[in-house]
Structure 1
Amino acid sequence: MTQDKVALVTGSSRGIGLMIARALSDAGHAVALGYARNASLASAEAEKIVRAGGKAIAVEIMIEDRGNVRRAIARVTSEFGDIGILVNNAAIAQEKPFETITDEDWNRMMDVNLRGAFVCSQEVINGMQKRSWGRIINITSIGGQWGGVNQVHYAVAKAGLIGLTRSLAKVYSKFGITTNAIAPGLVQTDMSTNELNTEAGREKVKNIPVGRIATVNEVASVAAFLASDDAAYITGQTINVNGGMYFG
């Protein structure tokens, strides 16, 4: 049963990650809210969950640094036990024309948005195998499916995350560990604000078949489902939460 599993959600001090952490807590899981810089926000949310009768801690996790990831996972494991649910949500975005992207920009994007998920997944997989149960949920993007214009490096990293999802599913599903991705379209978050304030962003909203952008709760509910026993036969999939923007 998935009840009382331990969940680590990276990048969960705000936005989609925060809502996913809340949804997993509501489902009965102990939750580690991973943050890179917003310690106060993550800690306040963890305290709120505890006051409501749940189990939660805030943990610093710089996903581009394997040593830091190991220390974070060790702390979570010491507090709650082996991690059974990993949500690779932490990411960065950068609006930049292709010809102006530097090597440093590219490497930073790959380190955070792709290698970070690889590192976190690799560091928890043994514990999941030991228990013959696990859920890895990667938050990718519609940009990783249809390409990017002013965020080419972002789109490439997110496309790679879909490839990682499929590969882990092929290797580890036989051990009771499912790996799936969620590909949101436009969601009302701090990260999307810049894009939505551009003419191109406003035009995208006009062309969404559902007629609006998504809420963070709509993404979080899908993550909570994928973490449940009801989703045990779903693996290697990319679940689109995009209001009909892309059907692939």
Structure 2
Amino acid sequence: MFSKTAIVTGASKGIGQSIAELFANEGYNVLINFNKSEENVFNLYNKLKNKGLSVRLFKADVSKRDEVNSMIDFCIKEFHNVDVLINNSGISQSKLFTDITDEDLDNMIDVNLKSVFYCTQEVLKYMIPNKKGKIINISSIWGIIGASCEVHYSATKAGIIGLTKALAKELGPSNIQVNSVAPGVIQTDMLSSYSEDELNVLKENTPLMRLGTPYDIANCVLFLASHHADFITGQIISPNGGFVI
């Protein structure tokens, strides 16, 4: 059995699902976190288990500290350690800034930003004593350049970038690398509200003339989790096809 264990939050679909699948195929023990989309995640789990891969499922709302703590306890019980944390769980919403409600803002901060705090604080109980670990936070290009009508989303993704840089400095002496992946326009359910014409405009504005795939992001995450990235920390890597340069 591969000695390393990875936790992937929000892994029921899209980028998170691709990350979980890729890591499992690469020999990691993978704890697949989900909160909704149960049919999707059980299909993924059965697919990977039928291949003889080392995976577990855990349902948790990672915006709630007590559920995060239960998830990490379960991971330690099953796999005895946690080597890689991928903070992928997130939501998006398109809305005029003047229409954003307190509930909208609180929900966005809870799911996109507090979840990163909670999951990271809990895994550090194990990483710091071991003097090793990889934390990879999924942000967005909109956290770098901002998106009109997605101010609260952009703010949380920018917050992840700030968290990543600050935490990398704090955890460097413990030999823990903290990095962020800021995807460009990726073919996931988050694009379901876009028309074909709108998607074509996005492609035309991307120098590589295509939208990204979840596996484009998953492969970047896999690299950052590997020993090849042991001297990389506090960095924001943005696979975006040249959309942002």
Query: What TM-score results when the alignment is normalised by the length of structure 2?
Result: 0.95
Once residues 198 and 168 of structure 2 are traced to their aligned partners in structure 1, the CA distance between those partners, rounded to angstroms, is: 35
C-alpha displacement of 1:46: 2.1
Counterpart position of 2:143: 144
Equivalent position amino acid for 2:221 in 1: A
Aligned to 1:177: 176
Q: CA deviation at 1:44?
A: 2.7
Mapped partners of 1:200, 1:154: distance in 2? 20
Shift of 1:129: 1.2
The SS at the match of 2:189 is: coil
Q: Secondary structure at the match of 2:231?
A: coil
- Residues 73/205 of structure 1: CA separation in 2 closer, same or farther (3 Å cut): same
Note the aligned Cα RMSD (angstroms).
1.4
Q: Give CA-to-partner distance per residue, 1:95-152, whole Å, 9 cap, x none.
A: 1111100111111101111111111101101201122111100110000000110111
Which residue is equivalent to 1:231? 229
Q: Which residue of 2 aligns with 1:163?
A: 162
In the other structure, the counterpart of 1:16 is: 15
Contact 1:47 1:57 in 2 (8 A): no
Write out aligned runs for 1:1-248 (5 A): 3-194=2-193, 196-197=194-195, 202-247=200-245
For residues 77-108 of structure 1, the C-alpha deviation after alignment (integer angstroms, 9 at most, x for no partner) is 11111211100001001111111001111111
For these two proteins, the number of residue pairs brought into alignment is: 244
Whichever residue aligns with residue 87 of structure 2, its letter is N
- Say which is worse superposed, 151-160 or 171-180, in terms of deviation: 171-180
Which one-letter code corresponds to 2:132 in the other structure? W
Distance 1:125 1:57 in 2: 21
Query: How far has the Cα of 1:175 moved from its partner?
Result: 1.1
Name the aligned partner's letter for residue 78 of structure 1.
K
**Counterpart code for 1:216:** P
In 2, distance between residues paired with 1:46 and 1:5? 19
Q: CA deviation at 1:199?
A: 5.8
Distance across 2 between alignment mates of 1:155 and 1:130: 34
Q: Distance in 1 between matches of 2:199 and 2:42?
A: 33
Q: Distance in 1 between matches of 2:198 and 2:45?
A: 37
Which letter maps to 2:95? K
Query: Which residue identity does 1:65 align to in structure 2?
Result: K
Secondary structure, counterpart of 2:242 in structure 1: coil
- Residue 191 of structure 1 aligns to a residue whose secondary structure is helix
Identity in percent: 38
Which moves more between the two structures, 50-59 or 157-166?
Answer: 50-59
Cα gap change, 1:163/1:171 in structure 2, threshold over 3 Å: closer, same or farther?
A: same
**Structure 2 letter corresponding to 1:140:** S
Question: SS of 1:213's equivalent?
Answer: coil
Between stretches 74-83 and 86-95, larger displacement belongs to 74-83
Q: Is the partner of 1:75 in helix, strand or coil?
A: helix
CA distance in 2, matches of 1:80, 1:46: 16
Please give the secondary structure, in 1, of the residue aligned with 2:182.
strand
Conserved in 2, the CA contact under 8 Å of 1:63 and 1:112?
yes
Rounded to whole Å, the distance in 2 between the matches of 1:199 and 1:145 is 25
Comparing 199-208 with 162-171, greater Cα deviation is found at 199-208
After TM superposition, the score normalised by the length of structure 1 is: 0.94
